[in-house]
Amino acid sequence: MRLENKVALVTGASNGIGKETALLFASEGASVVAADIQDEAGAAVVAEIEAAGGTARFVHADVSSATDCERMVAEAEQAYGRLDVLFNNAGIMDGRDGDAVETDEEVWDLTMAVNLKGVYLGCKYGIPALRRAGGGAIINTASFVAILGAATPQLAYTASKGGVLALTRELSVVHARENIRVNALCPGPLRTELLMSFLDTEEKRQRRLVHVPMGRFGEASEMARAALYLACEDSSYVTGATFTVDGGITAAYVTPE
């Protein structure tokens, strides 16, 4: 098992990529701390892990809160003695997000607080724990839109994910000699509740899907397998990477400089 005797903290673990990753990490031997603001769904994820013979616990955490982020890391160490993997995955995509003219300041601030500040706070409190464990892996969920921009305007989301890429690159350099690897997972368009609620008409879905060479939306479980690679020793020489798992969309539209 690729995460045997490891402790992994997954934010946004109640559904989507976070849920699938928590389940997969546990099946690969990790003790999982599942953090989310959705208590009932989070408890159900933990129950599913335990029913399969795994080890997990749920922690209520709003990643935009420093107090909550500090507590979720502390609970991981208190429960399991260490922290080896931090998956800063929690994020939002507000249906009111649009272009610069249409997007309200409230939507901008909320999106930045969760998607970008949440990653910063996870790292702020998670990195000292990884140091205490002798090193480890941080995975930050970004997005293909941070590289391409989105055909359907979602400016706050796109900007927040661009910030995640920049933050990831800098932290990977700063902590490389501490045996702490920091990588960004950049999913393409996924068939998750988060995206489908934003692409709420067939016209919006096709406008996004037409650009994907593989011709389909990705699955959360596919992102979980990518996160597993970045979390385990298979990626021991990988840090600072913008790891695109996107059905080929960036290959089709990004040209080398």
Catalytic residues: 157
Tokens linked to 45 = 């994820």
Burial class of residue 23 (count of CB atoms within 10 Å of its CB; 0-12, 13-18, 19+) = buried
What type of residue sits at position 162? G
Residues in the chain: 257
CA-to-CA dists, residue 229 to 69, 138, 172, 233, angstroms: 24, 12, 17, 8
Angle between helices 66-80 and 118-132 (to 10 degrees): 30
202 C-beta neighbours (distance < 10 Å), count: 9
Contact 140, 12 (CB under 8 A): no
